[in-house]
Structure 1
Amino acid sequence: MMASPRKKQLEELLGPGFVCFGHRGMRELVPENTLKAFQLGLQSTRYFELDTMLTKDEVLVVIHDETLNRTTNGEGLVREKTFEEIQTLDAGSYFSPKFAGTKVPSLESLFYELPVSTIFDIEVKSNEDENERKLLAKHLVTLLSRCKANHRVFITSFDPFLLEAVKRENPALLRGQLLEEGDSLKQDFVSEPDLFLPNYKGLTKDTMIELSSMSYSVIPYTMNDPKDWERMLPWGLRGLITDRPDLFLNFRKA
Structure 2
Amino acid sequence: MKFLELLKRNRLVAAHRGARSIAPENTLSSLQKSIGRCDFVEIDAGLSKDGVVVVMHDDTLQRTTDVAKMEIFKGRAPYRVCDFTYDELLKLDYGSWFEQNSAHKEPLLTLKIALEFIKKNGMFINVEIKDISNFFEDKIVVDAVIKEIEDAEMQESVLLSSFRHEYLKETKSILPDLPTAALFEGNFRDDLLEYLGDLQVEACNLDDGSVDEKRVKMLREAGFLVGVYTVNDPKRAEELFEMGVNYIFSDSLDRSLKRYAK
Report if TM-score (shorter chain) is over 0.5: yes
Map 1:22-171 onto structure 2 (within 5 A): 22-74=15-67, 76-96=79-99, 98-114=102-118, 115-129=120-134, 132-171=137-176
Rounded to whole Å, the distance in 2 between the matches of 1:180 and 1:204 is 13
Rounded to whole Å, the distance in 1 between the matches of 2:41 and 2:260 is 18
Query: How much has 1:137 moved relative to structure 2?
Result: 0.7
Equivalent residue in structure 2 for 1:225, among 233, 240, 250:
233
Rounded to whole Å, the distance in 1 between the matches of 2:155 and 2:201 is 16
Aligned to 1:236: 244
CA-based RMSD: 2.2
Instruction: Report SS of the residue matched to 2:41.
Output: strand
Rounded to whole Å, the distance in 2 between the matches of 1:173 and 1:92 is 32
Query: How much has 1:110 moved relative to structure 2?
Result: 1.4
CA deviations 1:112-139 (Å, max 9, x no partner) are: 2343411011000123359521101111
Rounded to whole Å, the distance in 2 between the matches of 1:51 and 1:58 is 15
Instruction: Report SS of the residue matched to 2:109.
Output: coil
Decide whether the 8 Å contact of 1:54 with 1:79 is kept in 2. Answer: yes
CA deviations 1:188-235 (Å, max 9, x no partner) are: 344221100000111000101111120111011100012211222111
Rounded to whole Å, the distance in 2 between the matches of 1:250 and 1:150 is 27
Instruction: Report SS of the residue matched to 2:160.
Output: strand
Q: Give the TM-score normalised by structure 2.
A: 0.86
Letter in 1 for 2:173: R
Alpha carbons of structure 1 residues 130 and 79: separation in structure 2 relative to 1, 3 Å = closer
Instruction: Tell me if 1:213 matches 2:218.
Output: no
Query: How much has 1:163 moved relative to structure 2?
Result: 1.0
Decide whether the 8 Å contact of 1:179 with 1:197 is kept in 2. Answer: yes
Letter in 2 for 1:104: L
Query: How much has 1:147 moved relative to structure 2?
Result: 0.5
Decide whether the 8 Å contact of 2:48 with 2:84 is kept in 1. Answer: yes
Rounded to whole Å, the distance in 2 between the matches of 1:35 and 1:180 is 28
Letter in 2 for 1:134: K
Instruction: Report SS of the residue matched to 1:196.
Output: strand
